[in-house]
Amino acid sequence: KAERQKVSGFVQNESGGRRKPQYAGGLVLDPKKGLYDRYVLQLDFNSLYPSIIQEFNICFTTVNLKSAVDSSDSRVEVPDPGSEEGILPGVLRRLVEKRRAVKNALKSEEDMLKA
């Protein structure tokens, strides 16, 4: 076993198990059993894809897909940093700002209750 570890270029953890992550995860609620006659959605606006959309202003209003289709190069160009904010990045930004404001308001209410 030790010889195999040497050859592969890594050494296993002394504990042999997985390490716990050093960060706290998000709140995950257990689902409630029952029949739902309307849509049930879970939206995470701080995850990887929404963050990329906001950072690079990716939207159907800012990305020119026609140029990628017409050229032999299939890559899509990222919009210029100075270009006007797209609809989707703008909506995501406002949702994240509202979420942050609500979380701060809830935190201040909790702090007032503790005092």
Could you report the per-residue pLDDT of 24-39, keeping only the tens digit for each? 677 777 888 888 888 8
Structural domain includes residue 19 = no
Structural domain includes residue 76 = yes
Structural domain includes residue 18 = no
Could you report the per-residue pLDDT of 43-89, keeping only the tens digit for each? 788 888 999 999 999 999 998 877 767 777 667 778 888 899 999 99
Structural domain includes residue 63 = yes
- pLDDT exceeds cutoff 60 at 4: no
What pTM did the predictor assign? 0.58
Domain that holds residue 99: 31-114
Structural domain includes residue 82 = yes
Structural domain includes residue 8 = no
DSSP states of 43-71:
--TTSHHHHHHHHHT-STTT--HHHHHHS
CATH code where residue 56 lies: 3.90.1600.10
Structural domain includes residue 62 = yes
Q: State the total domains in the chain.
A: 1
Structural domain includes residue 72 = yes
